[in-house]
Structures are given as C-alpha cells and as structure tokens.
Amino acid sequence: METPAHRREGSNKHIKGCERAAERFKLKIRELNTRHAATSTQRRTVQLSIKPMMDAVQREKIDKLWSMAQAVMGLPFRTFKHPAFEETYRFSSQFPGYKLPSEKRLRTTLLDANYETVREETEKKMFDHMVWDKITISCDGWTNRNGRPQMNMLHISRHGELAHRHVDGSNETKSAVWIAEHIMQDIEERGPSNVLQFVADNTSANILAGKLVRERYPHIIFGGCVAHGLDLLMEDIGKLPWVKEDVNDCKSFIKFIKNHHMTNAMFLDFFSNGATLLKPVATRFATNVIMLDRAWTLSSSLRRMVISDRWIS
C-alpha cells in the first residue's frame, strides 16, 4: 500500500484549525492559561523567598559555631582577618568533602613540610645575592621553659635576620671553644668569603670565641652587641650611690601600690585614668629607666593619691 504523500514527507500543512470553535471555548482556554501562569509565578516566588530564609538561618548557625570555636580555643579576634586564614578558608571552601588534617599530621609531616618551605623561601630571599651582600653571624644564649640552655644562631643581612638554627647546650660547658666551634660551623656553611663579622654579647667567653674565630678567619671581625653594651653601661650608672637610692625608693613605693589590691585599685580608678605603674625586670637594668620615666609621668597622680581622703574613708 502506498503511503500518502503528506505522511511520507512528515508534513501537516494541509491541516487547518477549526474556524467555527465556540467563543466560550476560547475564553475558557485563556482563563486556564492565565491561572496556570499565575500559579507558576506564585510558586517561584514562594521558593525564592524560602531559600534566602533558609540560607540566613544556616549562616547564623555556622557563624555561632565559628564564634564558639574561637572562644573555646582562645583565638584572637584578629585571626579571622589574617590573610593566611582567609586564603585557607577560601581555597578549602571550594571542596565540600574536604576534612581537616589530623593532629598527628599537623604535628609531624605537615609541620616538617612547612618548616622546609619557610626555610627555603627565607634563605632564597636573603642569600640569593650573597656574592656582594655579606652577612653577619650572631649568637645569643637563653633558657627555655624547661630550664634547658639554648643558643640561637642568627644570620643577618640587609634583607633581614634569619634564625638559622639553635643549639641545645644542656650537656655542654659554655666555653669559648664550644661557642667558636658552632660559629665556625656556620661560617663554613655559608662560605668564609661571604661572612663579614661575628657579633655576640660582651661576655668574656664570647670575646675569647671571637679571637679564636679571627685566628682561623683573619678577615672576619668580632663586634660586641651594642644593645648589650649600653645595658652594661646603664647598670654601671645605676651603681652610683645617688642613682641607686632613687631607683630603690621608686621600686619600693611601686611595689607597695601594685602588690596590694586596694591601693592598686584606688590608683587606677581614681587617680591615673587607667595608666598603670611599671615594675622593672630583674635582668634588664634599662627597665629601671622605663619605670622611673612612667613614675615621673604619673607623679601628679601619685601626689593626689598620697594626700587623698580615701585613705581614711
């Protein structure tokens, strides 16, 4: 059987709409179309209004979780403005399934990797031009929180300072030979021609270590730390009788005020407008000068406190 031409060609151009459809059917169709459009618009409006509301609720919950975590961990508020924090959050938020690294990884492999990254970048920045930019090697002793003696080895150039390494001196005698050995080790690492000088505190051991270094490397000079020298100078000034008397008097009344809760509160609340007196540090005589300067600045407040009626009220 032969297929009609209009079916073979897939055409329905010969079909025409009914020109005699009742007007009421046309009105009914328009009404249904209008009602459907209105329902669709209303449905979209409801969905759009619910979504922002749900987003706001979720955001508030997440914000509270961040705030609670910050409070529990004792993080400073400025943590959330730190570029490193913002960059980490922005990058990790691109991966919804990401999980935080474990404490073990943070303590071990990741910490080691970060250390190497920082060391490489710092050394590259400071020592790329070391051929014409000589460095200074410095050392300084200190005691950590466990009471173990340490010695920091610092490498200094015009680009900044690098804490190159630290030496644990728990089982060592801090002799001039021991100090010189570590200084010469760093000199060999950097190359003797790239080192200009060795700087340390003005102790007898460091001065002798400087002489030992110069015997092996005559072009490297030894210089005493200027800040340490000034501190020693101020200590000698503090031994003068008239200076020592004033310093001791100032220490005594500051300790009296700050070591008693009532007197300290009276001074802060009624006389100093919140400015506090400063105590000196035992190992740094320069802090005595800072103490005297603050006491002089608040001298009028101290006078008002001495003659105040609050002592008898």
Positive or negative, the CA dihedral 66, 69, 71, 73 is: negative
- Asked, for residue 270, whether it belongs to a domain, the answer is yes
In a domain, 276, yes or no: yes
Q: Give Cα 264 distance to the centre of its chain.
A: 32
Residue 12 maps to a domain: no
> Looking at residue 169, what is its pLDDT?
85
Question: How many angstroms from the chain centroid is the CA of residue 250?
Answer: 36
Residue 31 falls inside a structural domain: no
210 and 307 within one domain:
no
- Alpha carbon 290 to its chain's center: 27
pLDDT of residue 7: 47
215 and 259 both lie in a single domain: no
**pLDDT tens for each residue of the chain, 313 residues long:** 444 444 444 555 555 555 555 566 566 666 766 766 655 555 555 444 545 555 888 889 989 999 999 999 999 999 999 999 999 999 998 998 899 999 999 999 999 999 999 888 887 877 776 555 788 999 988 888 888 889 999 988 887 788 888 898 888 888 999 999 999 999 998 889 889 999 998 889 999 999 999 999 999 999 888 888 888 888 888 889 999 999 999 999 899 998 988 888 888 887 777 778 888 887 677 788 889 999 999 888 888 888 888 888 7
What is the chain's Cα-based Rg?
39
Q: Which stretch of DSSP H or E encloses residue 155?
A: strand 149-157
Q: Does one domain contain both 146 and 205?
A: yes
Q: What distance lies between CA 116 and its chain's CA centroid? A: 19
In a shared domain, residues 202 and 131: yes
Structural domain total, the chain: 3
Domain termination residue (choose one: 100, 128, 159): 100
How far separated are the first and last CA of the chain, in Å rounded? 124
b (16+ CB within 10 A) / e for 209-224: bbebbeeebeebebeb
Same domain, 119 and 60: no
Residues 95 and 133 in one domain: no
SS3 198: strand
Which structural domain, as residue segments, surrounds residue 58?
51-100
Contact criterion met (CB below 8 Å) for 271 and 305: yes
3 lies in some domain: no
Same domain, 306 and 250: yes
Which domain-ending residue is among 197, 224, 251?
224
In a domain, residue 11? The reply is no
According to DSSP, residue 156 is labeled E
| Residue 179 falls inside a structural domain | yes
**CATH assignment of the domain containing 159:** 3.30.420.40
Residue 106 falls inside a structural domain: no
DSSP letter for each residue of 97-117 = T--PPPHHHHHTHHHHHHHHH
Residues 240, 246, 247, 248, CA torsion sign: positive
Tokens at 3, concatenated = 């297929």
138: how many CB neighbours lie within 10 A of its CB? 21
Same structural domain, 210 and 274? no
Same domain, 157 and 211: yes
Among 72, 100, 128, the domain boundary falls at 100
- Among 151, 159, 160, smallest CA distance to 201 is for 151
78, 124: one domain: no
Residues 217 and 244 in one domain: no
Same domain for 155 and 93? no
